[in-house]
Amino acid sequence: QLQLVESGGGVVQPGGSLRLSCTTSGFRLDDYAIGWFRQAPGKQREGVSCISGSDGKTSYADSVQGRYIISTDKAKNTVYLQLNSLKPEDTAVYYCAARFASRGSIYQKTSDYNSWGPGTQVTVSS
């Protein structure tokens, strides 16, 4: 019933931008925290950004601070991740995830989430 599907990935040159979308269904965003994670080849999944669906509080990994922006469009039940100034090291499969959350709560660890989308590939290369 609770579903998340990522889209918007692709191949982009260094310095370029992409906007990833996480379309959700089966739950109300106001009651959940949404996280974006990524997993590069040979590496563990890492947190990128998260947002509270209730009050919009956000957090970012140091590696993407100032370059990525997380946002929501509740009318569309969608969470976005704007990726700017992309670097080759940003190459990964990007996942969105959801968990029930109290107002203002944000979660930054993979283990905090119990619902996941299938991922979308982002490749940054010349």
Instruction: Report residues of the chain scoring pLDDT below 70.
Output: none
pLDDT in tens, 2-35: 999 999 999 999 999 999 999 999 999 999 999 9
Say how far residue 125 (Cα) sits from the centre of its chain.
Answer: 21
- Report the pLDDT value the prediction gives residue 39, as an integer from 0 to 100: 98
